[in-house]
Structure 1
């Protein structure tokens, strides 16, 4: 494979040795740019608008490095409408590591334009540009434009040189602010065959193609290139909302993927592989299959991890805990090993690949059926399923098969129980790699629902003082998230103290946490609590709302139209029970009605039941989201479902005292 890539690089160096650059810049600033256009995509939520955005990509020879680079030129003109739009002047350019080299950015220019009788322009100083290394795979270039004020216009231009000669960058038409005009041009050598795909809900306004005759010199003969231009106008802002995958899965965009090229002899070279080719490359790769086969790293220590009397499942559980204790995650993702299993064990830290390849290798050494599973994390986007694109995957987990059950395992998370995946991994399907048969797609999902249960018991005296107990039980991803939150504190006492100090209407007087380190069990919090309802007493009337915790006050679904699914990561359940004894001689004057709400096909359900008998108020509330993913056509029903819950939870209980 490497020799084929080197041959392609040499070929393109010859191919493009006589090319010339074309720059697509922004037009000159004019008074007309300062006029706010009457457009349906600009509304009260718009704090800035992109007037024009232009980009162009082509391949050139880097003479200094004697290598090929894809040159991406970008220019954007943004009108700042109000103070909330000032953030658009804080600009970040991400630069990625491709192979062993980083992308670089050049020719960064920034201008601020404003009107004071005439158009004034302030150029950004070069000293305003800062470069930051995030990790060994990502660098950032940051800058802030000067003299920002309401109704000003900013221009930003730069050029990125990328060593990724096989793929032009995806051009995103949608952003978090509306765009009046967006244009992207790709100049592609005739010997290239790209798969060009339009993603998202919006269609192109215009599409142009032009043949660039004699664009480069090859073997003494001029050759051609295709100039492809894709235009979209009046593009609404993309609004992010709760419970969604990476925005790039849903934004309107043009994506380029190199499928094949032709050599100088005219022979066709395919870059699109079949999965059997990818499987073979992975399993023979030193940093993937080569690490799985390092069973000798573990065979001599297995007797210290488990006993022969253990079942295969118990062996797998103990190996899982052992790997978690031996290799700490360095917060770097990866489908390949960063250091190698042996070195990672010695260093006692490594990336996700190091950790989970060690887990797979150790399970294999124990004779347990185990396979690697390639994953694209939620923020990385959904992997393409039509044909193999190995670069789509940035993560690796394991699947263990014991006693007729399948368990997904990720040993990178300290607080993750056996058989549960973290939310970042719940992203469509992963690719499970077998050793003796073709790999296949496998749905990434957790068998255990995320669940939280609140239980409150207590007594309210005649002065409106409440004393009682609160018990909270967490399961699944809710337990993982809460364990991770507790771990941020220096001690358990510090966490409980924070609980005491930051419970707005509830006074926590004493508390304890149970099963914090028993990851396969529920996490339980228990507190002695008190509350003051004095202000709820009006003469002979007393009113209060018993939904004391996690009352839904804001609908998480507010869009008029949502063009992407609601993805919770897992089914969710929240139950709430309360038993309160009230003072004698209090009769129920008014109470929320008992209701049962449900979406079609029981996709979600909310029930509320209460009764008041002889001074005892007993209430039970259940909210069940019975699907991990709700499709676009279910959005309106889900939005209305939450609206009705909010309205119902606003209603107080009112009691009347018979004797004053």
Structure 2
């Protein structure tokens, strides 16, 4: 939902120091009050939150800054909600300057002996951690917090990014009784103010603050806008979704233009052709794409024996993957530059993928940068180019008449596939000679896991055999990264044994962990004791030895956002078991075939007894990467039926 609220255009202003509305004193009634109906299942409840954002001349910093004041009161409803006393507040870098946090205050309130006991947050309990060159985090934990407590916090953030106003999140992962946000907008700043999400505002107020700010000796007016939303349900996250902030109720401020004190107008909302030109002229973006000469000496040996564009592109992709190690820093711009990143064998996303694009172009393979907003970062603006929406860059290479999407940051990611973090609807191709355009961010290769078991039931006591598990697509990337996170493959296999306690692994091996263009597989020789499943001479046996679906990933009564898998997905179980001659199948689950409308998904459960061999095959085929809101109910029922079917057992009985 995208609702245009207002567009502001006022004379230039400056702002006198302002504060959000103070929280009223905590009352006995608040501590003992019943939980409102819309928050019955919540672990915590926001009773009231206030925010205020404005421009101020901050004397201590001798600068014009965006100042954001925030205070909130939260009631802890359950023991699980005690973690709400832990706060992490991110602070970001803008050029050489960082956001700063100040005036942090916190209090916890408990009912003790029919009196309200107040405990204050100690100043030495506040820590500022430098997590990266671009992000710091303020951390603190309020004391004496338990089930039934009320906690208050307040703080102020000073931001040097005066061209970006605060987004206010009305809806979050716990419900709120009341949320109030006040924006004081400079008169010469023109914003498009937009409410997104499923819930409407309870109230909106506006007023003009006369002579509110003095700049260069001139007093000016401001526009004060106050937005209120009441009884806000918690946003419930579920599997297979994009960033929650794409769907929660929030208010956004998009700066379109502003006036300097000289009277000249600066337009911020630009056309894509303006953004293209700026990016390609930027030293850390377009300037890196011009460095094709760096690869001239490398390419002849690298491409020797490679005849097609695809072969050459694969070789270059592998070279960049192995030469520049990702430092885990996102970015659309190069951090060190191609030359230095190649020399020091490390770089951020921009360093790696801009180097890949330059190398491909040096080999006469047309390639372009594609701006991406990662899944956790949210969807980019559709209506206007907002360059700050994008936090990542990948490559697009023209090979055999199609654009192949490339991200070389992960050494275990195959050519032509995107890691899940990049699969976020669409990216923007930045061409050098024509206007940029949107391109879908899709993985054509499906994710796939196949369990194949060949074994023998030697009695009613033990099942022995060989289990092969093969992985492709996103499942292979996930599994490869899991494996290499252990010091050795042996330690990974030892850990795997702890996750399948009912199965004894006699021997094991892994194939193609680093051969990323090959199928990843785990080979396990296993034994499964079945004596606990024998009752009155009948063995109850389930042939789905691993990875059965025990919990429905879709449980919401209504899901207001689409299901996004990242790719199509297939999971198959193939089981072949040799039965003893004196054992017969007394009963077996009925075969089942299910299909969703338009073949959106398919489920097959088939078994047969041929002589003494029991064969079983199950396939779950999700034939779409994305399912709409209208398809959610069908998908939910689809998984419910699968779970029911997977709980059914075969009954095996001796004939003598």
- The alignment's TM-score, normalised by the length of structure 1, stands at 0.95
Match of 1:77 among 69, 73, 79: 73
Structure 1: distance between partners of 2:119 and 2:526:
60
- Residues 92 and 136 in structure 2, CA contact (< 8 A), matched pair in contact too: yes
User: Is 1:56 matched with 2:52?
Assistant: yes
Counterpart of 2:450 in structure 1 is 453
Cα 1:362–1:589 change in 2 (3 A) is: same
- Residues 500 and 509 in structure 1, CA contact (< 8 A), matched pair in contact too: no
User: Is 1:46 matched with 2:46?
Assistant: no
Structure 2: distance between partners of 1:370 and 1:401:
6
- Residues 20 and 70 in structure 2, CA contact (< 8 A), matched pair in contact too: no
Deviations 1:140-190 (A, max 9, x none): 111111111221211100000011111211110112111000000000122
Structure 2: distance between partners of 1:348 and 1:145:
43
- Residues 49 and 79 in structure 1, CA contact (< 8 A), matched pair in contact too: yes
Q: CA deviation at 1:447?
A: 1.0
Q: 3-state DSSP class of the match of 1:648? A: helix
Q: CA deviation at 1:264?
A: 4.1
Cα 1:366–1:50 change in 2 (3 A) is: same
Deviations 1:333-388 (A, max 9, x none): 11000001011111110101001111111111111111111111111111112110
User: Which stretch shows the higher mean deviation, 375-384 or 142-151?
Assistant: 142-151
Counterpart of 1:571 in structure 2 is 568
Structure 1: distance between partners of 2:126 and 2:405:
44
Counterpart of 1:193 in structure 2 is 190
- Residues 19 and 69 in structure 2, CA contact (< 8 A), matched pair in contact too: no
User: Which stretch shows the higher mean deviation, 462-471 or 390-399?
Assistant: 462-471
Counterpart of 2:89 in structure 1 is 93
**CA RMSD in angstroms, aligned pairs only:** 1.6
Counterpart of 2:401 in structure 1 is 404
Deviations 1:220-268 (A, max 9, x none): 6542111100000000011111111111111110111111123446554
- Residues 74 and 150 in structure 2, CA contact (< 8 A), matched pair in contact too: yes
Q: 3-state DSSP class of the match of 1:120? A: strand
Counterpart of 1:216 in structure 2 is 213
Counterpart of 1:301 in structure 2 is 298
Q: CA deviation at 1:121?
A: 1.3
What does residue range 475-494 of structure 1 map to in structure 2 within 5 Å? 475-494=472-491
Structure 1: distance between partners of 2:35 and 2:329:
47
Match of 1:416 among 413, 416, 431: 413
Match of 1:616 among 610, 613, 623: 613
Counterpart of 1:389 in structure 2 is 386
Q: 3-state DSSP class of the match of 2:291? A: coil
Q: CA deviation at 1:616?
A: 1.4
Counterpart of 1:512 in structure 2 is 509
Unaligned runs of 5+ in 1: 1-10
What does residue range 310-459 of structure 1 map to in structure 2 within 5 Å? 310-459=307-456
Counterpart of 2:233 in structure 1 is 236
Using CA pairs under 8 Å that are at least 6 residues apart, name the structure with larger relative contact order, 1 or 2.
Answer: 2
- Residues 105 and 160 in structure 1, CA contact (< 8 A), matched pair in contact too: yes
Q: 3-state DSSP class of the match of 1:41? A: helix
Cα 1:86–1:500 change in 2 (3 A) is: closer
Deviations 1:20-56 (A, max 9, x none): 434422122222322334522111x212111000000
Counterpart of 1:644 in structure 2 is 641
Q: CA deviation at 1:613?
A: 2.8
- Residues 61 and 69 in structure 1, CA contact (< 8 A), matched pair in contact too: yes
Structure 2: distance between partners of 1:37 and 1:101:
46
- The alignment's TM-score, normalised by the length of structure 2, stands at 0.96
Deviations 1:527-577 (A, max 9, x none): 211111112222332221111111101111111121111111001000111
Structure 2: distance between partners of 1:269 and 1:296:
37
Q: CA deviation at 1:269?
A: 2.9
Structure 1: distance between partners of 2:414 and 2:324:
16
User: Which stretch shows the higher mean deviation, 237-246 or 432-441?
Assistant: 237-246
